[in-house]
Amino acid sequence: MASILKSLRVLSDPVRLRLMLLLVEEELMVAELQEILGLAQSRISTQLAQLKGEDLVSDRRVGKNIFYSAAEDLGPATRAVLEAAREELKEAPEDKAHLAFTLRKRKDKAAEYFNRLAGKFGRAYVPGRSWQALSHALLRLLPPMVIADLGAGEGTLSQLLARTAKKVIAIDNSEKMVEFGAQLAKEHDFPNLEYRLGDIEEPPIEPGSVDLALFSQALHHAATPQRALQAAHRILKPGGRVLILDLLSHTHEQTRELYGHVWLGFSEIELQQMLKKAGFSSIETSIVSRESEAPFFQTVLASGVK
């Protein structure tokens, strides 16, 4: 009882309450919270510190950025209070709309980078993209399969998979990439390769329709990686598999501007936790590639079964 009363006292402040309602939905940086709430950085940081002091909020550092989210162990009583408050707080609908706008900006930044890169993808350097790493994923494939290549770009990997797969559905949120990839599929005569414009967090694919969901150097472009993995679980058939090839956690901040990255890679533990939360089992992770030149990117392979 003492614990919930303490939480209620902390949440009695309208700004702290608005922060909690946002952080229950998404993991956000202070700058994003500033934009959503229209408040000064100092005020938001002060309120976050109080929430963190009461174990209502947790944080994690990704390079130079700190991301805040609601603590996982809030408890049913605190969550019930937050849901009740959401119904009464007059700013809640406006905050939710601003949150959606902020998340769209995350996605648009990555899409803008890939629109510029269309037609040059095979000749441009992309961190973590190596044939050595890709071969580890390809060795795990048993044709014929229906494969979803999520965040496919021009679809270099999709075209390789299409040589033996029953069908490959390549998803990307860049119109230029989809147009370019579809033209390549036509020129190279891959009738089983279909490009679709869409978001990897809400892929335009029927639930329970694919055997393999693949993220090849794509998950770090997702606004919310957890949501992308949950979507992958949704489109997979029972017994279907997800494969992730991505950068291991790093601190190379320049990837945000140079390559449109949203996240600075993922640790093996982070991937295991996200896959488990998304509903996958038989989860495996391993480091499959280490670059020999600075900044020495490493590639991690993760898999799970629905």
| pLDDT tens digits, 284-299 | 999 988 888 888 999 9
Distance (Å, rounded) from C-alpha 77 to C-alpha 85? 12
Residue 298 lies in domain: 121-305
The least confident of 10-19, 98-107, 114-123, 187-196 is: 114-123
**Domain identity same for 204 and 70:** no
Residue 142 φ then ψ, to 5°:
-125, 105
% of the chain residues with pLDDT over 90: 52
Does 179 reside within a domain?
yes
- 286 beta partners: 301
3-state secondary structure the chain: CHHHHHHHHHHCCHHHHHHHHHHHHCCEEHHHHHHHHCCCHHHHHHHHHHHHHCCCEEEEEECCEEEEEECCCCCHHHHHHHHHHHHHCCCHHHHHHHHHHHHHHHHHHHHHHHHHHCCCHHHCCCCCCCHHHHHHHHCCCCCCCEEEEECCCCCHHHHHHHCCCCEEEEEECCHHHHHHHHHHHHHCCCCCEEEEECECCECCCCCCCEEEEEEECCHHHCCCHHHHHHHHHHHEEEEEEEEEEEEECCCCCHHHHHHCCCCCCECHHHHHHHHHHHCCEEEEEEEEEECCCCCCCEEEEEEEEC
Find all residues with CB under 8 Å of 24, minimum gap 6, and list them: 70, 74, 79, 82
**Domain identity same for 193 and 269:** yes
The sign of the CA dihedral 24, 215, 246, 107 is negative
**Domain identity same for 149 and 235:** yes
CATH of the domain at 230: 3.40.50.150
Model confidence band, residue 245 (pLDDT cutoffs 50, 70, 90): very high
Among 54-58, 103-107, 135-139, top mean pLDDT goes to 54-58
**Domain identity same for 79 and 125:** no
**Domain identity same for 150 and 52:** no
pLDDT score of 167: 95
Angle at which helices 30-37 and 14-25 pack, to 10 degrees?
120
pLDDT score of 30: 92
Residue type, 42: S
User: What is the average per-residue pLDDT within 70-75?
Assistant: 86
**Domain identity same for 146 and 85:** no
Buried b (16+ CB within 10 A) or exposed e, 153-164: bbbbbbbebbee
- Chain CA centroid to CA 229, Å: 7
Distance (Å, rounded) from C-alpha 229 to C-alpha 23? 19
215 or 109: whose pLDDT is higher? 215
237: left (phi over 0), alpha (psi -120 to 50) or beta: beta
User: What is the average per-residue pLDDT within 64-91?
Assistant: 85
pLDDT score of 1: 42
**Domain identity same for 245 and 134:** yes
pLDDT for residue 301 is more than 90: yes
The least confident of 50-54, 104-108, 143-147, 243-247 is: 104-108
How many domains are contained in the chain? 2
Does 105 reside within a domain?
no
Contact 7, 1 (CB under 8 A): no
Strand 210-216 to strand 236-247: parallel, antiparallel, or no bridges (unpaired)? parallel
What is this structure's pTM? 0.67
The candidate with the shortest Cα–Cα distance to 129, out of 104, 154, 96, 92, is 154
Q: Give residue for tokens 């393999």.
A: 212
pLDDT for residue 3 is more than 70: no
Strand 65-70 to strand 57-62: parallel, antiparallel, or no bridges (unpaired)? antiparallel
pLDDT for residue 178 is more than 50: yes
- 216 beta partners: 245
| pLDDT tens digits, 191-237 | 999 999 999 999 999 999 999 999 999 999 999 999 999 999 999 99
% of the chain residues with pLDDT over 70: 91
Does 114 reside within a domain?
no
pLDDT for residue 122 is more than 60: no
**Domain identity same for 274 and 130:** yes
**Domain identity same for 204 and 266:** yes
pLDDT for residue 117 is more than 80: no
The candidate with the shortest Cα–Cα distance to 265, out of 221, 214, 233, is 221
Distance (Å, rounded) from C-alpha 21 to C-alpha 19? 6
Token representation of residue 22 = 């946002």
pLDDT for residue 139 is more than 50: no
User: What is the average per-residue pLDDT within 147-164?
Assistant: 89
Model confidence band, residue 142 (pLDDT cutoffs 50, 70, 90): low
